[in-house]
Amino acid sequence: MQYHPDKNPNNPEAHAKFQEIAAAYEVLVDDQTREMYDQFGLDGLSGGGMGGPGVSPEDLFEHLFGGGGGPSFGFAGFGPGGARRRRRGEDSINPYEVTLEELYVGKTVKMQLEKTVVCNACSGSGGKPGTKPKQCSRCEGEGVIMSTRAVGGATVGFSRITCPQCKGSGKTIREKDRQCKGEKVGKERKRVEINIEAGMPDGHRIVLVGEGDQEPDMAAGDVVFVLQQKEHESFERSGSDLLAHVRITLSEALLGFSRVILTHLDGRGIRFDSRRQGNEKKIYKSGDTVVIKGEGMPVWKKDRRASMSGPVEKGDLFVLFEVEMPTEDWLETVDVQALKALLPPGKPDIPAAVVEEAKFEAGDLSAFGDGDEDAWEDEEDYSADDSTQCRNQ
């Protein structure tokens, strides 16, 4: 299956991870629920009476595809149950990159989906309309045949394999349908929309139920888009809270400031008055943090009706201040003596019986502890010789 604008690469590692989740899912969901899901997708489950009161479609999906966040999957063609007898087609999982701005305001994406559909002329029989298929002569309608396995020239056993003549259907076609040339399926382009709602979490899965590739005699799988939040240059996100680093000058740190300190995700400037409300004499240090309530991400709720009524609830915006010290160039331009008279005085000597004048150079903390070379060599020898042993411990 192909998509515009995104096409996902095949990733064997992600596939393995997914098999793991699928195995866990098998344990979590009882067979009856699973069967309904296989046949009818989510619609089959929301009909009620299924799987007890504790299983909602969303819960089931979390079981199926894992919770929010986590590693990103980049592959198509996962079918729940893997090698089990399939009644439902494969799901297609597609990563979809979104910016923080898009997640803040929400976005509707229109795209062309190219998918395999059951031929409408022959309804997926592959035969000329009006003709009836006949029983497969190779498997006598069973769909499977016995096959012998030979090892080293000797026949060692039998196994059941899918009939290669009828591909397991048990039927063969007398005369091929002209539209699909007997293939039973064709390609179709379909316009679809995915609705990225404001505040959706990173890793959220948007599911187009039943929009997967169609195959005859089988319910189509789903097309799933997994939101991948791109890194933002000004904001970090944690749930519905945002964090921004804001640099202020030494003058602002000492004397206060009132200015637009950042551009929010919807383009609004956020003005900050450091001297507001009993804050008149506060000096800002690097690492000081303020929180602006209600200026975080919109709070997204699974139950859309709840979030649509009333004002949008939002998380908080944390601002972390960092004080920029002036440059040496700036110091050249001022009256240093006057400045010294204004600033708090320096500290006196620490009392000591013997005092030595320090000789120093610029340092680098990554070199801290490097002088102790013998200890490091021993460590390296040890790990090289005993690497297998270490791994087993």
Interaction site with Zn ion (CB under 5 A): 119, 121-122, 136, 138-139, 163, 165-166, 177, 179-180
Residue whose pair of structure tokens reads 């990563």 in the numeric block? 95
Task: State which residue, 55 or 145, has the beta carbon closest to Zn ion.
Answer: 145
Extended beta strands in 142-288, E state: 144-151, 154-162, 171-172, 185-196, 205-208, 223-229, 235-238, 241-249, 258-263, 269-273
Collapsing DSSP to helix, strand or coil, 67 comes out as coil
**To the nearest whole angstrom, how small is the minimum distance from the Cβ of residue 161 to Zn ion?**
11
Specify which residues 147 forms β-bridges with. 159
Q: Are 206 and 223 in contact (CB under 8 A)?
A: no
Instruction: Decide whether 97 or 175 has the Cβ nearer to Zn ion.
Output: 175
Neighbours of 119 (CB within 10 A): 22
Q: How far is the CB of 38 from Zn ion (least distance, A)?
A: 24
Nearer to Zn ion, 29 or 166 (CB): 166
- Closer CB to Zn ion, 1 or 119, in the complex: 119
Closer CB to Zn ion, residue 107 or residue 138?
138
Q: Which C-beta is closer to Zn ion: that of 139 or that of 209? A: 139
Closest approach, Cβ 92 to Zn ion, in A, equals: 23
Half-sphere exposure of 123 (CA within 13 A, CB side): 6
Kindly tell me which of 63 and 184 has the beta carbon lying closer to Zn ion. Answer: 184
What's the min distance (Å) between Cβ of 185 and Zn ion? 8
Axis-axis angle for helices 57-65, 12-28 (nearest 10)? 140
Q: Distance (Å, rounded) from C-alpha 383 to C-alpha 378?
A: 9
CB 181 → Zn ion: shortest distance, Å?
A: 8
> Which lies closer to Zn ion via its Cβ, residue 148 or residue 309?
148
Strand-pair partners of 318: 243, 291
Toward Zn ion, which CB reaches closer, 165 or 240? 165
What is the closest distance, in whole angstroms, from the C-beta atom of residue 136 to Zn ion in the complex?
Answer: 3
Q: CB of residue 139 vs Zn ion: minimum separation in angstroms? A: 3
DSSP-based three-state secondary structure for 17: helix
Tell me if the bond preceding 201 is cis, omega within 30° of 0.
Answer: no
- Pairing of β 107-118 and β 2-3: antiparallel
- 3-class SS at 5? coil
In the complex, minimum distance from the CB of residue 81 to Zn ion, in angstroms, rounded to a whole number: 24
Where are the strands (E) in the chain, listed by range?
2-3, 76-78, 91-98, 107-118, 134-135, 144-151, 154-162, 171-172, 185-196, 205-208, 223-229, 235-238, 241-249, 258-263, 269-273, 289-292, 317-324
3-state DSSP assignment of residue 116:
strand
Q: Smallest distance, Å, CB 210 to Zn ion?
A: 21
Cα–Cα distance, 172 to 142 (Å, whole number): 12
